Chains A and B, each alone.
Chain A
Amino acid sequence: MENDELVQNMLLELRRGVLSIAVLSQLGKEQYGYSLLKALSDQGMEIDQSTLYPLLRRLESQGLLQSDWRIVDEARPRRYYVISAQGKAVLSKLKREWSAMVATMTQMLS
């Protein structure tokens, strides 16, 4: 029981680091918050709203995302997010680092 809690906490930390890359990777085309949440969840990356929205705001304040409020197809107003030019450059670096890290870890754990 105690170990389960430890594992859960460690997984939470692990995911927290990966989420920024996951979110940036899904914003090549613009999405509103809830559609992004679904897109991530459909691919197996579960994330709750209270984590996603603050993360989106942080990435935007760092200049990695852009957003604006719009009404598309006569629906209600929604905030649409898309990756910025700086975000694309950062994502490409992060992808390389990620691949290297995965290779290292795979080797260490094998």
Chain B
Amino acid sequence: MNLIDKYIAEVGKHLPRKNRADIEAEIRSTLEDMLEERKQAEGQTDDATVIELLKEYGAPRKVAESYSGPRYLIGPRIYPIFEMVTGIVLAVLFAIALAGLGIGLSRSGMSGPEFLKTVGESALGLIGGLITAFGNIVLAFAILERVLPAKEFEKETEDWSPAELASEPDPDRVSFGEQIFGIFFLALFLVVFNLYPGAIGIGFFTDNDWVFISPILTDAFFGYLPWLNVLALTEIVFGVYLLRQGLWNAGLRIVKIVLELAGIALAVVMLRGPALATLTREQLAGTPLEESARLFTTMGILIPALVLTIVIIVSSIEAAQMAYRLLKSRPSSPYPIAK
């Protein structure tokens, strides 16, 4: 095997299998043409001439690369979709882990070391889950990159019309309906729980009468009420400020995340603490519900727990959503925009 053979074999190692033999033959033909030209000019050739010639032709890997062009695991045409899917999946996983942690921590009677152990296990589980999910997404997109015909994407860009922009929601714009709805219910919560706690109860129709059982909220609940009031008032003030601003920015998103986390923390504490509502056998005496008293006393414990669990899950999703938008938010533009 002479130097030229070895050189061609080395280039071949880095060439795609499909065209390897053809490209190798062509390189050989060219090298021999070049060598012959040198022989005619110099009269003879030796190993030094061949070495010089090969050096001029280029490093084997570089020569091979010029034939294959850039190769991607996930190419530029599907990379934006990959980025979007990764963001969504990781945010959802994060929200689920946060909600799971909240529910895990809500078990009452947990000691300090147990508490730390639960947090540590959740964090490790989350890291493992995020890495696995990321790996799976990369694998799926790497397969798509190889099987999807390029035309699929061209069609989408050809069909695009600027009119579509009109229906595109602005992620930074504050949703007025959502804020007003939120403020209304927080205000309703403050009024009812502080001024008319007796209005919270269980009402139902018997044969002809409306029966209402109250109070059902325990002292434990009223112990938490000042904290709930502070949180609700802060949310209302923040909501009004958001309405005035009209646009989310990084600072407002951080405040929102802090508020959501505070809500989650309070919900966890309330879940771990004593019962928030009771429905005793005595309260049910003389009503048609007396027969199923056991069921209703259990419900008195279960319903607040269910509500708090939903609060933890929803707040976790909102916090994760805010964190995702915060990370994705655009840097401030030098282009002056009138707000």
Tell me which residues across on chain A come within 8 A of B69, comparing CB atoms. 54
What chain B residues lie within 8 Å of A110 (beta carbons)?
none
A15 proximal to B (CB < 8 A): no
* B64 smallest CB distance to A (angstroms): 9
B-contact bits for A8-50, CB 8 A (1 contact / 0 none):
0000000000000000000000001111010000000000111
Size of the A side of the interface (Cβ < 8 Å), in residues, is 17
Chain B proximity of A39: nearest CB distance (Å): 13
Residues A34 and B34 in contact, CB atoms below 8 Å apart:
yes
Q: Chain B contact residues (Cβ within 8 angstroms of A): what range?
A: 10 to 19
State in angstroms the CA–CA spacing of A37 and B58 once bound together.
Answer: 16
Is A51 positioned at the interface, with any CB of B under 8 Å from its CB? yes
Residues of B within 8 A of A32 (CB): 29, 33
Instruction: Collect the chain A residues with CB atoms within 8 Å of residue B32's CB.
Output: 76
| Pair A50/B63 contact, Cβ less than 8 Å | yes
Q: For residue A37, which residues in chain B have a CB less than 8 angstroms away from its CB?
A: 30
Chain B nearest Cβ from A65, distance in angstroms: 14
Interface of chain A: mostly helix, strand, loop or mixed: helix
Q: What B residues does A33 contact at CB under 8 A?
A: 26, 29-30, 33
Known: A34-B33, A34-B34, A50-B62. A79 touches B67 (CB 8 A): no
Q: Which residues of A (50-77) have their CB < 8 Å from a CB of B?
A: 50-51, 53-54, 57, 69, 76-77
Given the interface pairs A34-B33, A49-B57, A76-B32, the reply to whether A54 lies near B67 with Cβ below 8 Å is yes
A78 to B26 Cα, complex, angstroms: 7
Contact with B along A65-109 (1 / 0, CB 8 A): 000010000001111000000000000000000000000000000
A15 to B26, CA, bound (A): 24
Q: How many A-B residue pairs have CB under 8 A?
A: 44
Q: How far is the CB of B276 from chain A (nearest CB, A)?
A: 70
Q: A34 contacts which of B19, B30, B63 (Cβ < 8 Å)?
A: B30
Contact B30 A57, beta carbon cutoff 8 Å: no
B67 and A57 contact, CB distance less than 8 A: yes
A34-B34, A49-B57 as given contacts; A54 in contact with B29, CB under 8 Å: no
- Bound Cα distance A57, B29 (Å): 15
CA of A48 to CA of B56, assembled, Å:
10
Chain A residues near B116: list those with CB within 8 A.
none
Q: Is the CB of B25 within 8 A of A69?
A: yes
CB-CB < 8 A to B19: which residues of A? 57
CB of B29 within 8 A of CB of A53, answer no
Cβ of B230 to closest chain A Cβ, rounded Å: 60
- Binary interface profile of B, 15-33, with partner A (CB < 8 Å = 1, else 0)? 0000100010111011011
Would you give 15 A-B contacts (Cβ < 8 Å), ordered by A?
Answer: A32-B29, A33-B29, A34-B29, A34-B34, A49-B30, A49-B57, A53-B23, A53-B27, A53-B67, A69-B25, A76-B29, A76-B32, A78-B33, A79-B25, A79-B29
Interface residues of A (CB under 8 A from B): 32-35, 37, 48-51, 53-54, 57, 69, 76-79
Q: Assuming A33-B26, A49-B58, what are 6 further A-B pairs, CB within 8 angstroms?
A: A34-B34, A48-B58, A49-B30, A49-B57, A50-B62, A77-B29
